[in-house]
A and B are shown apart, each in its own frame.
Chain A
């Protein structure tokens, strides 16, 4: 390569990387780095000058009951959201791809499986904020609510889906599952499609019923995809914001019964203008997320099944 060519190559690399790297450094990397410093200041209000207070904010957040309530809600979602979503999605993906006729034609999905997949996936393309407003109406506390109307007609209601502190969290979980299931049905279906049909047919010839077909063949072969789903849903559970902020009463209520870390960070920063404290909460959230990422990488090492 001549010097001229090397010069042109270097120029090309620099020119192509300049814009993306600059944008990324200015808008992503620099805010993340600043956040760690701001977390150690007492910065309050837009015009105030912050002063360094060391780890004071972290000491204070240890005694912040609301924040720890938020953490327990994220932790509960971290366990329940993947568990419920994956169980439902695996069940449907199995029915749609393998659970169909078992007669002489081998293994197929049920009739109309394409239509089901299209319908199930649709909530995924809606904005979370739109879904939140939609379910706020579905959950209305009186006879005008889509759910409470029939419940009251049956003499069972009204249920305070969003107004009863003991119920509201489950409503949030329910809506998140409602929106997520379709995506994982499609994801697992793609995983199932890559498994050779003969695997299932061989199992059937050996006399496997649907139940053992699911637990002995489908689940082990899909295990990699299930792990990917678990990580995705785990991150979704740690990052949840819009559904809580928009749908629930008082942005995380009633009585803090649905609040999450992201909502407390936003509330502290942009409603109370405690920038230093909000950043400290952000640092804690950062370590929870990175911790989860490391744990899931650590546990997802498992031998791949080759076929």
Chain B
């Protein structure tokens, strides 16, 4: 009995496959070939890097497609310690954590007020923020460098927010993330119903309380999207830290990775470079695999607004 069932199951599966192939036709096969070609183009360079990260120096300079004789896991130790990838990753994590938190806090506050409270100058402030979307950051680079340098001379807090400080970079990240955050979130706040907030006001809740306890939780989907957008954007930022963090021990991950390759010389540690690249890619791969739905919608929802 059981054998007959499995036999019929296998048989019908085979029939279904044949039927599908018949319906697919030559064009359908080409479709799959095209999709597979792009998959290979995306996956192979990354896998090749992972493979090279456990090769010895000689193997890296040998045939590109040879397998390592023995995996050299010590490459990772050298990348982590001597190339300071561990330190840079920690720096990136600190800057992005505070940067994104700050962006979301002040960005959602500004967006909420601009979306829900009509007052003289509201429109002007909104346009001021949104206009920042159109400016190329390169125009501001030189003056920004001196603005941050001057911040270092402010009494009391100066030493914490000048050049080569993480707090200074965090403030710059927040400021440059505001245009898109305010633009996106104020559009979102405008779509939310007003009744709940008004009822709470009648019951004596303050404006601040209505915002934090009613409006923010209601805006959760928008907040999640834009948080993902800002985390990725700030984690991947290279231009601003390149200008504002010039002391090595303050560097973020993108600077560290870029430096190992540009500071090339004959004493270059190539196997550590591949290990460092792998260390930079793997966490993104893990995070992406877990949150791919939210990440895809978070990054594309901005474009469709």
Interface set of A (CB-CB < 8 Å, partner B): 8-10, 12-13, 15-17, 19-21, 23-24, 26-32, 34-35, 38, 88, 91-92, 95-96, 99, 101-103, 110, 116-130, 132-138, 140, 143-146, 148-150, 178, 181-183, 186-187, 190-191, 210, 225, 228-229, 232, 238-239, 241-242, 245-246, 261-262, 265-266, 269-270, 275, 278-279, 282-283, 285-286, 289-290, 293
Contacts and interface: CB of A to CB of B under 8 A. Distances in A.
- Looking at B42, B139, B148, B243, the one whose CB has the most chain A CB atoms below 10 A away is B139
Nearest to B292: A118
Contact of A102 (B23, B32, B182): B23
B303 interface: yes
Contacts of B280: 127, 130
Contacts of A187: 300, 303-304
Contact of A133 (B136, B207, B277): B277
B106 to A, nearest CB: 4
A34 to B, nearest CB: 4
B257 A149 contact: no
Given A127-B236, A137-B49, A24 B132 contact: yes
Contacts of B253: 127
A149 B65 contact: yes
> Across chains A and B, which 10 residue pairs bring their CB atoms closest together, nearest first?
A149-B64, A27-B175, A282-B139, A127-B236, A31-B143, A31-B140, A34-B143, A20-B110, A12-B207, A129-B254
A126 B143 contact: no
Interface residues of B, number: 98
Given A17-B109, A95-B35, A133-B261, 17 more contacts: A9-B117, A19-B109, A26-B175, A31-B144, A95-B34, A101-B20, A122-B42, A125-B288, A127-B257, A129-B238, A129-B257, A130-B257, A130-B281, A190-B300, A228-B304, A238-B136, A293-B134
B178 A282 contact: no
Given A9-B117, A138-B45, A270-B243, A21 B143 contact: no
Contacts of A116: 35, 38-39
A275 B134 CA distance: 23
A266 B253 CA distance: 20
B47 to A, nearest CB: 10
A13 B113 contact: yes
Given A20-B178, A149-B64, A186 B296 contact: yes
Contacts of B142: 31, 35, 38, 269, 275, 278-279, 282
Contact of A134 (B49, B207, B296): B49
B98 to A, nearest CB: 13
Nearest to B45: A138
Interface in B10-46: 20, 23-24, 27-28, 31-32, 34-35, 38-39, 41-46
B300 A16 contact: no
B63 A121 contact: no
Contact of B60 (A144, A148, A150): A144
A16 B258 CA distance: 39
- Looking at A16, A103, A246, A262, the one whose CB has the most chain B CB atoms below 10 A away is A16
